[in-house]
Amino acid sequence: MTQEQYRPRARLPRGFRDRTASEIATERQMLDTIRRVYESYGFEALETPALEYADALGKFLPDQDRPNEGVFSFQDDDEQWVSLRYDLTAPLARYVAENFQNLPKPFRRYQTGTVWRNEKPGPGRFREFIQFDADTVGSASPSADAELLMMLSDTYEALGLKRGDYLIKLNSRKLLDGVLEIAEVDATRRGTVLRAIDKFDRLGARGVEALLGAGRKDDSGDFTKGADLSANAISRVLAFVTSEQAQDSNEALSALGDAIRGSAVGEEGLANLRAILGLAEKSGYGPDRIRLDTGIVRGLDYYTGPVFEAQLTFPVTNEAGETIVFGSVGSGGRYDDLVARFTGQRVPASGVSIGVSRLLTALKTRSTADAFAANPLVVVLVLDKAEAASSFAMARDLREAGFRVEAYTGEAGMKAQFKYADRRNAAVAIIEGSDERARGEVMVKDLVLGAELAKSVEGRAAWVKDRPAQAAVPRDQLITYLRNLFEVRGGE
């Protein structure tokens, strides 16, 4: 009796996903758009490795109550603990510390790459995702923060979002520290309190109140221990976080001034916010794009001053068609102490990060993502295997003219090749049989138009009159014909 062969079940780890060619192409074009905006502001590229020594990354993740402190780690052959990076900021701090003497001050860099977090997945929240960061290191001026916010706004609009589709919210950790000081929250509970407030958009006031108190049990039954604040402290913190913000920045800042009066650190934070918002508004970035919001905290413990978060204002639906709370698609803040972990020398720094994977997931629910779709595909059918070289030469000529083209490499006949082109979502199929070749022609089948005609016979005559679903085209005019076809379709 032979032992049954073990066959693993084909499955993905929770919080990870496969990505198709269309999504990759869309993401690539999104990255190119973000890169152009960042470079237009004078930022330059930098790459750091996916792995860092665990002690270099530090323990700054928002979900510190989870195993492994929220990161994926292992020991290398030198018995050193290394971790997959959870963001691009901690590696930047390590790079600056190593190369500080040779860098211009301020140092302005952008970076894109994959990051990993060992935390609970949720809607649009993955354990592996792509970020695109920009940071200014070496400037303590509020103008550095303001510039990053303005650049973030320009980036979202370059990606197709309109005014009113997004909002960049701004707060300050120093302002929050002032509130905690007045509420008499000791330093040992500060991190727990900030992480609780950071979940306000997801959990609401009642959920945050539980985390400020004894703790909270989520829908899965997992319990998160709270900060154990007094009832008076909880009331003060919640009043600050849930306070209504006026559209006018000066009114909002004046109201907050009353809440933190008597706290030196709180008043310093208020002055920084006033300078940032003032510069942004004078540059044309008003509260319809950048706005003060006391509910923004950012869970990472390394932030020391202004913190910001970009949110979508339109409803996002999941695959089941349900409206979901999507959360942020970009964030950042000031982290003046991060480089000092390595050097002991305080180096001011501020940065923003766009969650590319999350943003793409949201844009899929709207036509906005279509603007970043791959160029239309042309499939050249190969009907005469003895003359396959002619078909491949045609595909080469079309590629040189700038088209995205593939010649069929399978073994099926014409009908199956058409089905293949449909499955590939090709825009056009080109047929060159022996008869067409003898006439110096090719047949061009518009698969997109053909699909429209197949849906309904209504209006068929109008469709076919000016744009037949299939046309005979002289071989030497094929490039011009395709260009005209795609130009007409692009304008529809």
Q: Is the peptide bond before 106 cis (omega within 30 degrees of 0)?
A: yes
In this prediction, residue 98 has a pLDDT band, given cuts at 50, 70 and 90, of: very high
Query: Residue 142: exposed, middle, or buried by beta-carbon count in 10 A (0-12, 13-18, 19+)?
Result: buried
Fold entry, domain 376-490: Rossmann fold (3.40.50)
Nearest alpha-carbon partner for 46 in 35, 54, 33, 55: 35
| Number of neighbours of residue 234 by Cβ within 10 angstroms | 23
Beta strand 306-312 with 128-137: parallel, antiparallel or unpaired? Answer: unpaired
Residue 116: pLDDT over 60: yes
Residue 403: pLDDT over 60: yes
Helices 142-158, 21-40: crossing angle, 10 deg rounding: 140
pLDDT, mean of residues 107-119: 93
Q: Burial letters for 433-448: b for 16+ Cβ neighbours within 10 Å, e otherwise?
A: eeebbeeebbbbbbbb
pLDDT of residue 67: 39
In this prediction, residue 347 has a pLDDT band, given cuts at 50, 70 and 90, of: very high
Q: Are 441 and 474 in contact (CB under 8 A)?
A: yes
* Residue 430 host element (H or E): strand 428-431
What CA–CA distances, in Å, run from 192 to 28, 216, 225, 266, 303?
37, 13, 9, 19, 14
The torsion angles phi and psi of 61, rounded to 5 degrees, stand at: -70, 150
Residue 349: pLDDT over 80: yes
| Look-up of token digits 């649009």 | 124
Query: Residue 192: exposed, middle, or buried by beta-carbon count in 10 A (0-12, 13-18, 19+)?
Result: buried
Q: What is the mean pLDDT of the chain?
A: 84
> What does the H/E/C string look like for 145-208?
HHHHHHHHHHHHHHCCCCECCEEEEEEEHHHHHHHHHHCCCCHHHHHHHHHHHHCHHHHHHHHH
| Look-up of token digits 């050097």 | 343
Residue 351: pLDDT over 80: yes
Q: Looking only at Cα atoms, what is the longest distance across the chain?
A: 91
Nearest alpha-carbon partner for 195 in 215, 181, 175, 178: 215
Q: Where are the domains of the chain?
A: 21-370, 376-490
pLDDT of residue 85: 93
pLDDT, mean of residues 334-345: 92
Residues in the chain: 492
The encoded tokens of residue 157 equal 């609009």
pLDDT of residue 461: 46
Residue 321: pLDDT over 70: no
Q: Are 350 and 135 in contact (CB under 8 A)?
A: yes
Residue 63: pLDDT over 70: no
Torsion (CA) 264, 270, 273, 278 in degrees, nearest 10: -120
- Is 106 in a helix, a strand, or coil? coil
The predicted-structure confidence for 122-146, as pLDDT tens digits, reads as follows 766 789 999 999 999 999 999 999 9
Name the pTM for this structure: 0.76
93 vs 106: CA distance, rounded Å: 13
Residue 344: pLDDT over 60: yes
In this prediction, residue 281 has a pLDDT band, given cuts at 50, 70 and 90, of: very high
pLDDT, mean of residues 97-117: 94
| Number of neighbours of residue 156 by Cβ within 10 angstroms | 24
In this prediction, residue 322 has a pLDDT band, given cuts at 50, 70 and 90, of: low
Residue 157: pLDDT over 70: yes
391 vs 399: CA distance, rounded Å: 13
Residue 283: pLDDT over 90: yes
Q: Are 110 and 43 in contact (CB under 8 A)?
A: yes
pLDDT of residue 453: 44
pLDDT of residue 492: 46
pLDDT of residue 179: 82
Which residues on neighbouring strands pair with residue 73, listed in sequence order? 83
| Number of neighbours of residue 396 by Cβ within 10 angstroms | 13
The predicted-structure confidence for 374-402, as pLDDT tens digits, reads as follows 678 899 998 888 888 998 989 999 999 98
pLDDT of residue 26: 86
The predicted-structure confidence for 195-217, as pLDDT tens digits, reads as follows 888 787 778 888 888 999 888 98
Residue 225: pLDDT over 60: yes
The encoded tokens of residue 413 equal 């006949």
Lowest-pLDDT range, 40-49, 162-171, 265-274, 419-428? 419-428
226 vs 213: CA distance, rounded Å: 5
In this prediction, residue 42 has a pLDDT band, given cuts at 50, 70 and 90, of: very high
Looking at per-residue pLDDT, the higher value among 68 and 187 belongs to 187
Q: Are 294 and 178 in contact (CB under 8 A)?
A: no
In this prediction, residue 373 has a pLDDT band, given cuts at 50, 70 and 90, of: low
Looking at domain 21-370, its CATH architecture is: 2-Layer Sandwich (3.30)
The predicted-structure confidence for 432-469, as pLDDT tens digits, reads as follows 888 888 899 999 998 876 555 445 444 444 444 455 67
- The CA radius of gyration of the chain, in Å to the nearest whole number, is 28
Lowest-pLDDT range, 111-120, 168-177, 372-381, 393-402? 372-381
| Look-up of token digits 């720094």 | 349
Residue 31: pLDDT over 90: yes
Residue 99: pLDDT over 70: yes
Q: Give DSSP secondary structure letters for 67-100.
A: GGGGS-EEE-TTS-EEEE-S-SHHHHHHHHHHHG
To the nearest whole percent, how much of the chain has pLDDT over 70?
A: 86
pLDDT, mean of residues 33-57: 94
pLDDT of residue 330: 92
61 vs 172: CA distance, rounded Å: 18
What totals of helices (H) and strands (E) does the chain contain, helices first?
Answer: 18, 20
Looking at per-residue pLDDT, the higher value among 268 and 323 belongs to 268
Nearest alpha-carbon partner for 304 in 153, 174, 445: 174
Q: Are 245 and 252 in contact (CB under 8 A)?
A: yes
Looking at per-residue pLDDT, the higher value among 316 and 11 belongs to 11
In this prediction, residue 357 has a pLDDT band, given cuts at 50, 70 and 90, of: confident
pLDDT of residue 434: 86
